[in-house]
Structure 1
Amino acid sequence: MALDGIRMPDGCYADGTWELKMHVTDLHKDVSLRVTGEIHIGGVMLKLVEELGGVVGVKALPAYSTAHSSDDTLLLPLKLKHPIT
C-alpha cells in the first residue's frame, strides 16, 4: 500500500495503524507492534509471541481440574522469525 509508513501528526499512520509499545518484564525487552483498532487482545498476544520468536512457556490449567498447579506448563513452539538473544 502506498500509505504504509507515512506518519500523521496525531501519531497514527496514514494506513490506519499505530505503534503499540510494550515491555516484556520477564525477558527485559521492549517491543513495538503496528496494530489497528480491529485487532483483539488474542491477536496482539499472537503478534507479540511471533515478534519475540522461540518457544514460550505459557501457564495452563488442565481442563479437568479447577485447582491450579504451577507444574502445568504448555510449550508453544513457533516458527522463528528472529531467535531470542
Structure 2
Amino acid sequence: MTRFLLAVLVLANVATAIGVVYARHRHRTLFVELSKLERQRDELNIEFGRLQLEQATVAESTRIEQVATTRLGMKFPEAGDVVVVRP
C-alpha cells in the first residue's frame, strides 16, 4: 500500500511539473504574440495619424481650388454666365 501511494504521489508530482512547464511555455509564446500585436497596433496608429493629416491637407478648400484651376482648368463662372432657375 505504501509503495502504491508513493507511486501515485510521484506521478502526481511529475504531472504537476509537466503542467508548470507547459503553462510557462504557453505564457512565453502568448507574450511574444502580444508584443508583435502591440507593435503592429503602434504602427497602425502612426499610419492613421499620417492619413488624417494627409486627408486634412487634401480636403482643404484652397488646395481643392488650386487643383481645380491648375489640373482641370476650371474657373469661377462670370456673373453673366450664371442662370437662376425659379420654380
Provide TM-score, normalisation by structure 1: 0.24
More strand by share: 1
* Greater RCO, CA 8 A, separation 6+: 1
